[in-house]
Structure 1
Amino acid sequence: MEQKSFRTFLLVLVLVVIAYPEASSGDEFVSVNGVHLMLNGSPFYANGFNAYWMMVIAADVSQRPKVTAAFQDASARGLTIARTWAFSDGGDWMPLQISPGVYNEQVFQGLDFVVSEAKNHGIKLVLSLVNNWVEFGGKKQYVAWGKAQGQTVSADDDFFTNEVIKGFYKNHVKTVLTRRNTITGIAYMDDPTIMAWELINEMRCVSDKSGKTVQAWVSEMAPYVKSIDRKHLLEVGLEGYYGASRSQQYPQYFQVGTDFIENNQVPGIDFATVHTYTEQMFQNMPEADQLSFLNRWVQDHIHDAENTLHKPVLFAEFGKTLKGYTIEQRDRTFNAMYSGVYSSASRGGAAAAALFWQVLSEGTESSFQDGYGIVLSRPSSTADIIAQQSSRMNGIRSMLARRGRL
């Protein structure tokens, strides 16, 4: 009887391996091959979301079910990539890094939980390492720390040039990458749940619009990250603004000190990113014109990723606020973004995924609803559009995996 049951078990296992090769091949690292993200030997096309709040919520053990619920809701809608913060610098509310090199273990264990729960729900993570903006500390906090230690600094953009401050940042990078998860026992740098590191969220350096400061900083930090961790992918955290390389095509975006082409050509940068909020970029532009711009913006970045960078591109943030706009307008924005990404993916192109801003779970809205938040457990037309895109992108991935086995 026991022998027969064991044979039955083996037969079922073989059938599972045949039907679901991804489940049998282990949780591998996401890699890059040309313009493709790769997972388990096949191009990794996906759908994703942002949820920046997860670490600070998970720092309170009693609140962790809200993080679990967000991952459950996302997984139920077919989402397989999540982007969130691996920083919270200074300040009075839930800092991860209290001061340079001094960490709040309770908050770090919150991040441990986020990584663990992502693994449990089959979701890959993009973890950002510092903010360009003042929220959660950012450049401004690092500069304040430098000034407190006697550095002659005054502007936020001194973050990119002051050697002591750059040392603070490098120490944070090393601390996060070498962290051993208290739940899984796996060092972050060895955990395939993490898909990629992001140098900085929405980097800008308006004090040097030539782009030289940003280029020098990326050229220094990319090899530093790779010197610690060569298993994971790395991206800059760019919004997609062009500098001199496209100044004629997009002259209104020649003002933030970054360049989508040059910054993403730095050795060690594995894929490009774009963030797009047309209602913020063009506050007085009619919706039809915003959608027209969005379509062109998406196609131009895909074209440049394929033909100039020869790397994948992730549309790492997009959305439409309901503060002043309707659900129908939000849905049209989602459809436009998803259409461009799916069109590229269906022909084997560079667009790997689009990550909307942002997922919330029940009970988080009072603290984190910014007009963009979507609670996926609640029925809505937008949630249906998200699930449909997940199905289409996961379908491409499955089809390519099957072809690879023929």
Structure 2
Amino acid sequence: MTAALVTREGSRLLLDGRPFRFSGANIYWLGLDENVGGIAYPTTFRIEDAIDTARDLGVTVIRSHLATSTSQGGANPLAVMPAIDEWNDAAFDSIDHALAYGGDGGMRFILPLTDEWAYYHGGHRDFTAPFGLEPDEFFTDRRAIDAFRRYVERFVTHTNRETGTRYADDPAILAWELGNELEHLTPEWVDELATLLRHAAPSTLVAAGRRFGVDDASLTAPGIDLVDVHYYPPTAEGVAADARRVVEAGKVYLAGEYGSVSASPELLDPLAADPNVTGMCFWSLFGRDDGGRFVEHDDGFTLHVPGDTSAMRANVAAIRAFGTALAGAAA
């Protein structure tokens, strides 16, 4: 089990009293997958292979949709919450193992709690459609907000059956993220959910952000520690400008997603030298299936290690060098 908590001091993270900066990977499917034989829980081998591959790359933080596991009216019976206020304890098995295995080797996790998009693992529409609401009412309607609150409280207080540790107390969880790429955040909603997490999981940091650009509600909310910005494609100048704005507001800057095809020395070398940039998480890492074959995904940003093509091998080399450059900070 990871021994020390990552903490925040102003606009930087600390681990064991030293600055903590990181090269990160998105491995969204560690709790529930869609890429091997349809929607299914990933096998133990696949979970461990992907986490081991991330470590080999110098990655110290994984951003994953482990905590995004909902559906409408039983449409996805494999979800943690197949329907409002219905719970599937078996769905925690793969989540428990990913956190236990990763944490045992010192990996940290950033976990979005829902998603803007209606993908197979669920999203915020699962809290509005059952009440006949429009998607954007997730942020304003009391029924949707309260249903989401119950889901969050149930999830973060789950006890990992492998470690005996509540998620709320697990040092492997660096931050709970209010959601992935939420487009219509309001200050009131951000404050309420951040306050809930502060109460339910007081040792864990809280992240928030929208898809592109710095989100003002997240930037000014007193309960938010990390402000997440995504880039398709990124530029070193754009990342540096956003990081400076976040740091000037007293928050920790996080690039929660950037396309792996953009990883290069031209992008990452100046950002490794920029102390405002705490973390950069590429999208997205896939390992092997149980037969030893690389798992494919169709979004154009899949990264295999050591790489399928010369271009991908160059991306891998740049990400590895970025992790090495940050290794002077606690890792």
Are residues 1:268 and 2:223 paired?
yes
Are residues 1:295 and 2:236 paired?
yes
- Does the 8 Å contact 2:287/2:295 carry over to 1? no
Choose from 343, 348, 353 the match for 2:273: 343
Deviations 1:207-263 (A, max 9, x none): xxxxxx622211211111111111000011333525xxxxxxxxxxxxxxxxx2342
Distance in structure 2 (CA, Å) of the matches to 1:186 and 1:137: 26
Are residues 1:142 and 2:122 paired?
no
Inter-CA distance 79–160: structure 2 relative to 1 (3 Å threshold): same
- Does the 8 Å contact 1:74/1:376 carry over to 2? no
Cα shift at 1:343: 2.0
**Which protein has greater RCO, CA pairs closer than 8 Å, 6+ apart?**
2
Distance in structure 2 (CA, Å) of the matches to 1:368 and 1:93: 23
Deviations 1:132-154 (A, max 9, x none): 1111221222111223xxxxx2x
Distance in structure 1 (CA, Å) of the matches to 2:137 and 2:116: 12
- Does the 8 Å contact 1:57/1:63 carry over to 2? no
Cα shift at 1:27: 1.6
Cα shift at 1:389: 0.8
Secondary structure of 1:224's aligned partner? helix
Q: Which residue pairs with 1:239 in the alignment?
A: 211
Choose from 69, 79, 92 the match for 1:88: 69
Q: CA RMSD in A?
A: 2.3
Alignment map for 1:4-403 (pairs within 5 Å): 27-57=3-33, 63-85=43-65, 86-90=67-71, 91-92=75-76, 94-135=78-119, 136-147=121-132, 153=133, 155-205=134-184, 214-242=186-214, 260-278=215-233, 294-307=235-248, 309-320=249-260, 330-331=261-262, 333-344=263-274, 349-363=275-289, 368-378=297-307, 380-397=313-330
Cα shift at 1:105: 1.7
Distance in structure 1 (CA, Å) of the matches to 2:246 and 2:266: 19
Deviations 1:253-278 (A, max 9, x none): xxxxxxx2342221110121110002
Secondary structure of 2:268's aligned partner? helix
- Does the 8 Å contact 2:206/2:226 carry over to 1? yes
- Does the 8 Å contact 1:196/1:235 carry over to 2? yes
Deviations 1:298-349 (A, max 9, x none): 1211211222x122201110015xxxxxxxxx35x443442342121xxxx2
Distance in structure 2 (CA, Å) of the matches to 1:92 and 1:232: 29
Cα shift at 1:61: 7.3
Inter-CA distance 335–214: structure 2 relative to 1 (3 Å threshold): farther
- Does the 8 Å contact 2:40/2:78 carry over to 1? no
Secondary structure of 1:202's aligned partner? coil
Cα shift at 1:84: 0.6
Distance in structure 2 (CA, Å) of the matches to 1:93 and 1:360: 25
Cα shift at 1:62: 7.5
- List alignment gaps of at least 5 residues for structure 2: none
Inter-CA distance 60–131: structure 2 relative to 1 (3 Å threshold): closer
Cα shift at 1:57: 4.3
Cα shift at 1:395: 2.3
Inter-CA distance 225–83: structure 2 relative to 1 (3 Å threshold): same
Distance in structure 1 (CA, Å) of the matches to 2:221 and 2:30: 30
Q: Give me the TM-score of the superposition, normalised by structure 2.
A: 0.88
Distance in structure 2 (CA, Å) of the matches to 1:342 and 1:101: 44
Distance in structure 1 (CA, Å) of the matches to 2:266 and 2:188: 35
Q: Give me the TM-score of the superposition, normalised by structure 1.
A: 0.73
Cα shift at 1:197: 0.2
Secondary structure of 1:103's aligned partner? coil
Secondary structure of 1:99's aligned partner? coil
Secondary structure of 1:97's aligned partner? coil
Task: Tell me which amino acid in the other structure corresponds to 2:258.
Answer: F
Task: Tell me which amino acid in the other structure corresponds to 1:272.
Answer: V
Deviates more, 1:62-71 or 1:375-384: 375-384
Distance in structure 1 (CA, Å) of the matches to 2:265 and 2:56: 20
Deviates more, 1:78-87 or 1:230-239: 230-239
Distance in structure 2 (CA, Å) of the matches to 1:361 and 1:93: 26
Q: Deviating runs (4+, > 6 A) in structure 1? A: 58-62
Higher share of residues assigned helix: 1
- Does the 8 Å contact 2:186/2:217 carry over to 1? no
- List alignment gaps of at least 5 residues for structure 1: 1-22, 148-152, 206-212, 243-259, 279-290, 321-329, 399-406
